Every structure is written in C-alpha cells, then in structure tokens.
Amino acid sequence: MLRWLWLALAAWGAVHPMYWFMTYLSQNGWDFGAMIDAWYVNASTTGLVWDLTIAAIALTLWILSEVAVRRNWVALICIPAIFCIGVSCGLPLYLYVRSRPAR
C-alpha cells in the first residue's frame, strides 16, 4: 500500500508544480531565462531555490551510493526526474522504485 502512495506522490509532484510553471510561462512568454530570473527576485525565493538545489544534490548522491551497493539500475531514472521535474517528483519516485519487493 505504501509503495503505491509513493507513486501517487511522484505523480502529484510532477503535475502540480508543472501546472504553476506552465501558468507562469503562458502568462509571461515562453522565456525560460525570465522564469529562472524570477526565482531570484527576493531573499525568500532565492532561499527556496537553494534549499531545493541542495536537496536535489543530496538525493542524487544518495541514489548513486545506493545504486553502487544494491545494483538497482532502474533507480537511476529518478535522477533526471529530480533535475528536469523537481525533488517533489524525484524523491517519491525513488522511494517507489526502492520499495520494490525483493526477489
């Protein structure tokens, strides 16, 4: 049951933030540079960007270290999810992949 909750959270973590990114881009033009600049408009958003960046790096290192030990190569698909979609998708996706029953 918990395994499916991880997958549901990964889907939510992909769809919900993407809705806001698409809303911003459709209202302000499809300039990704301007969207990235908007992430640094004040100390609050800059802090959030750095918080998520550090979390993404830590999660990536955790995935790489566990893949080296467990040889669970499928877990590597979570790294692009982290950096292309976000930690809100990549972390629960990794927990879903990692919670696969042992064979």
Is 59 a member of any domain?
yes
**Tens digits of per-residue pLDDT, 9-58?**
999 999 999 999 999 999 999 998 999 999 999 999 999 999 999 999 99
Domain encompassing residue 26: 2-98
The pLDDT-based confidence of 101 (bands split at 50, 70, 90) is confident
Is 38 a member of any domain?
yes
Rg (CA), the chain: 16
**pLDDT for res 103:** 67
Is 103 a member of any domain?
no
Is 80 a member of any domain?
yes
**Tens digits of per-residue pLDDT, 54-98?**
999 999 999 999 999 999 999 999 999 999 999 999 999 999 999
Is 56 a member of any domain?
yes
**pLDDT for res 92:** 98
pTM of the entire predicted model: 0.90
C-alpha distances in angstroms, 94 versus 4, 10, 38, 51, 64?
12, 9, 29, 19, 11
Of 56, 90, 97, the residue nearest 74 (C-alpha): 97
Q: 28 CB contacts (<8 Å, ≥6 apart)?
A: 34, 35, 38
DSSP label at residue 83: H
Q: How many domains does the chain have?
A: 1
